[in-house]
Structure 1
Amino acid sequence: MSQRLNLFDPDFRENPYPHYARLRRDSPVCQVDPNGFWMLTRHEDIVAAFKNPELYSSSALRMAGAPPWLGRSNPLVDSMIAAEPQRHGRLRNLISRAFTNVMVGRMEAYARDVVMRLTDMLFQSETVDFIPQFALAMPANLMALLLGVDPALQKRFKGWADDISGAPAVALDDVVRQEQVRTTLQEMDVYLREVLERRRQKPTDDLVSDLLQIQVDGERLTEEELLSFLSLLLVAGLETTTFLLTHIALILAKNPEWFDRLRTNDVLINPFIEEVLRYEPPNHFAMRLVMQDTEVRGVKLPAGSPVLLSLASGLRDEAHYPDAEQFNPERGVQANLAFGHGIHFCLGAPLARMEARVALDTILASFSRFELATDKIQWMHSLFFRAPTSLPLRFTPL
């Protein structure tokens, strides 16, 4: 290619998929802006990188999430998502004792109650922005249950998540946004430390209390490790599920025939969710650092190079998914790459899938269709995530 692709270019933000297709065909290993990051776009190469954490280190996340202007640590990039294999294994072993499929199952009844309340509110207006009224409100309510805090704090949680996940996109000369991110990190740190202290003094039936009590071979999570995981849970858990629910609603609005097809054949509901994850994954990139000189498809990657693993491109790779540009839930695949791969496969994937299934069940039982109430979708300015900033919809009751 004669010119580097800029991942913040408005044309790319509007529709990145033709760009990914061109790169897979013509330049599957290339440099992109900002910062001249290397990018892998083919499914095979992305999976190979995930499977080799010694060569492709997750420590690259610290470069993106803790830029020099931050002037302090970022608990998100100090969490297990950026930990090297040995430390990651220790953290995952401890945390997984509390964050289990059994816990997810216990939360499903509460999730259904939340969704019913949110759905009732959608009937109250002719046009509703689906994101704050449903796509954000649902996971925020479940996050509040996990942490044992007031669900009314959802706007605060969302603001924190947006500021912290958006840190890699903050310009070096944007001192106002930089100060906002620093303030957010300080506020979240104070708040989460207060939550931990309250649970030490008075344990309750929530994830925080369970994490404080977990002990394996005499080891416990330290205060900083607890803070890092709770930060990860707030940011990644809230953002990923919000964007997944948003893409489900947008795809239903653009393809209303799926309302009837799913309603009359509920066996397709889980495959539909998997196809949404494949076709419009919430997270488009994972970042890694090449630890030694290596070569991929004849392109030399020098040691120390930051590399973006293009999950969204890999999930539309024609070599792995026939007719990859077509939305087809009946292809019957699991879009696991949307949640990463290998040792860093997302611990919260069962929770996100449960929330999506519960939401879709209730939507299908309540509405005959959605209709977009705008001619122009605005997309968020983020290096890693892709989702609309708002999604005004008109709802037709069943």
Structure 2
Amino acid sequence: MTQQQTPPTLGMGLSPANPEYQKDPFTLLDDVREQGRAVYDELFGRYIVGRFEDVQQILNDRDLNVDPRKADESSFMANFRRRFTDDTREPSMLFLDPPDHDRLRGLVTRAFTPRSIEQMRGRIGEIANELIDKVEGQSSFDLMKAFCQPYPTIVIAEMLGVDPNDQADFKRWTDDGVAAGFDPFAGEEKQQRAKVAREQLETYLRKAIAERRAEPKDDLITALLHAEDEGNFFNDEEVVSMVALLLGAGNVTTTDLLGNGLKNLLQQPDQVQILRDNPSLITNAIEEMLRYEGPVTFTGRIAVDERELAGCPMHRGQSVTLAIGAANYDPRLHKDPHKFDVTREDIDHLAFGGGRRYCLGAPLARLEAQIGLETLLTRFPNLRMPEQELVWKTVPGFRGLEKLIVEV
């Protein structure tokens, strides 16, 4: 007699509405991945793909769409559009397909260069130390509030050229705007705060753009305005949208990379000691943090025609959800994937996506995480994490802590 497989958890079970998922999404995603190469989620009208090789291949497929306006009306991506996007406005680059996506990405890469990021290395270290200065002398504090949340916001604000006197407002607009951006569980008050924050941020950015056009500066806003690619330039609204994307996508993911990674590290004092004994492993530790509990658990694609993906026939407009959190735990690729190991060799992960949509901010996120981790371990020789009930954010597709209490 053959043993029957237990159906995997699907639908709302793979969302923060499920306490079991909030506590440990990766075990549930293991079940989905091992059920088959493409598992149909009837409630949400999507296929879920979770094996590393399949997810990587689909991420690298340049023919697939992401614009939810092109999805089948009964599909998950169409429902996403109705809930989260404003059809009266052009989507951000994140949800555009070629040629619009390629034009905008080509322009932003002219401004957001590895050189401009590397030039920030010294200042990023100063920002990390300045934040730690504010909590020095306290026996315990919330690491998310004190460090992980403000750290990337201040870095990108300084790159943009935001006046230091405006940075408190800038951080509030960013925090409030992002808080409800992808959260279907956000209440009316939270959504209203987000709406006001986005409007105030856009007003601020339009004023800054006008000032940079009249008097250019050595900052990222000016670089975006002056970026040119084969005769193409950004218009003002595209710069506003791009800055909002850099803030929203970049800050949240770097915050959660640090928060999740430090939680996993501090839960295993032996791993902390390994890094203290051999700081050269910090770069490798960041990659293990990205693999083990990265900030993004799902991303999506839309079939453009009748085709086969992950061994399954798909129709035009079909939603395909790529389970990054399942792929990064695929035992076909990693031995003992549920073990957090900063010495792990040959780490491969899909935390930054892939293909033409590989995360533009990956070099900055890695640099911030490496400097942040090294600074925290240096400044706090006895940094540890007491027993506590972890509270996770309720944003589907993302993984991040509301707070993380540490003792020093």
Secondary structure of the equivalent of 2:381?
strand
- Count of aligned positions: 388
Distance 2:208 2:190 in 1: 27
Change (3 A) 1:393 1:186: same
**Any conservation in 1 of the 2:173–2:201 contact (CA below 8 Å)?**
no
Distance 1:259 1:247 in 2: 14
The correspondence for 1:155, drawn from 167, 172, 181, is 172
Q: Are 1:60 and 2:68 matched, yes or no?
A: yes
The correspondence for 1:103, drawn from 116, 122, 125, is 116
TM-score, normalised by the number of residues in structure 2: 0.88
**Any conservation in 2 of the 1:164–1:184 contact (CA below 8 Å)?**
no
Structure 2 unmatched ranges of 5 or more: 1-6, 70-76
Deviation of the 1:59 alpha carbon: 1.1
The correspondence for 2:56, drawn from 29, 36, 47, is 47
Q: Are 1:13 and 2:19 matched, yes or no?
A: no
Q: Which amino acid aligns with 1:99?
A: F
Structure 2 counterpart of 1:353: 366
**What do the CA deviations read for 1:281-320 (whole angstroms, capped 9, x no partner)?**
1011111112223334554433212221111111111111
Q: Are 1:371 and 2:380 matched, yes or no?
A: no
**Any conservation in 1 of the 2:180–2:191 contact (CA below 8 Å)?**
no
Distance 2:42 2:196 in 1: 28
**What do the CA deviations read for 1:31-67 (whole angstroms, capped 9, x no partner)?**
347633321111111111112231x311138746642
Distance 1:32 1:74 in 2: 30
Deviation of the 1:120 alpha carbon: 2.1
Deviation of the 1:375 alpha carbon: 2.4
Distance 2:42 2:176 in 1: 26
Deviation of the 1:227 alpha carbon: 1.8
Structure 1 counterpart of 2:267: 254
Q: Which amino acid aligns with 1:29?
A: A
Structure 1 counterpart of 2:73: none
Distance 1:338 1:354 in 2: 15
**Any conservation in 1 of the 2:11–2:44 contact (CA below 8 Å)?**
no
Deviation of the 1:138 alpha carbon: 0.9
Change (3 A) 1:92 1:4: closer
Change (3 A) 1:251 1:211: same
Deviation of the 1:2 alpha carbon: 7.0
Task: Out of 372-381 and 349-358, give the one that drifted further.
Answer: 372-381
**Any conservation in 2 of the 1:161–1:238 contact (CA below 8 Å)?**
no
Matches within 5 A, 1:233-272: 233-272=246-285
Secondary structure of the equivalent of 2:208?
helix
**Any conservation in 1 of the 2:46–2:320 contact (CA below 8 Å)?**
yes
- Report percent identity of matched pairs: 28
Q: Which amino acid aligns with 1:155?
A: R
Deviation of the 1:74 alpha carbon: 5.9
Change (3 A) 1:294 1:184: farther
**Any conservation in 2 of the 1:274–1:333 contact (CA below 8 Å)?**
no
Task: Out of 377-386 and 177-186, give the one that drifted further.
Answer: 177-186
Change (3 A) 1:17 1:284: same
Q: Which amino acid aligns with 2:107?
A: L
Matches within 5 A, 1:21-40: 21-32=30-41, 35-40=44-49
Distance 1:323 1:148 in 2: 45
Secondary structure of the equivalent of 2:320?
strand
**What do the CA deviations read for 1:190-247 (whole angstroms, capped 9, x no partner)?**
2322221222222222100111112233321122221221111010111011001112
Distance 1:199 1:327 in 2: 46
Task: Out of 329-338 and 62-71, give the one that drifted further.
Answer: 62-71
Task: Out of 211-220 and 103-112, give the one that drifted further.
Answer: 211-220
Secondary structure of the equivalent of 1:381?
coil
Distance 2:382 2:261 in 1: 12
Structure 2 counterpart of 1:317: 330
Change (3 A) 1:34 1:231: farther
Matches within 5 A, 1:223-238: 223-238=236-251
Change (3 A) 1:361 1:180: closer
Matches within 5 A, 1:1-398: 1=7, 4-6=10-12, 7-8=14-15, 9-32=18-41, 35-54=44-63, 56-60=64-68, 63=78, 66-67=81-82, 71=86, 73=88, 78-149=91-162, 150-152=166-168, 153-166=170-183, 169-170=184-185, 179-297=192-310, 299-395=312-408
TM-score, normalised by the number of residues in structure 1: 0.90
Q: CA RMSD in A?
A: 2.4
Distance 2:157 2:383 in 1: 28
Structure 1 unmatched ranges of 5 or more: none
**Any conservation in 2 of the 1:170–1:177 contact (CA below 8 Å)?**
no
**Any conservation in 1 of the 2:143–2:406 contact (CA below 8 Å)?**
yes
Q: Which amino acid aligns with 1:345?
A: Y
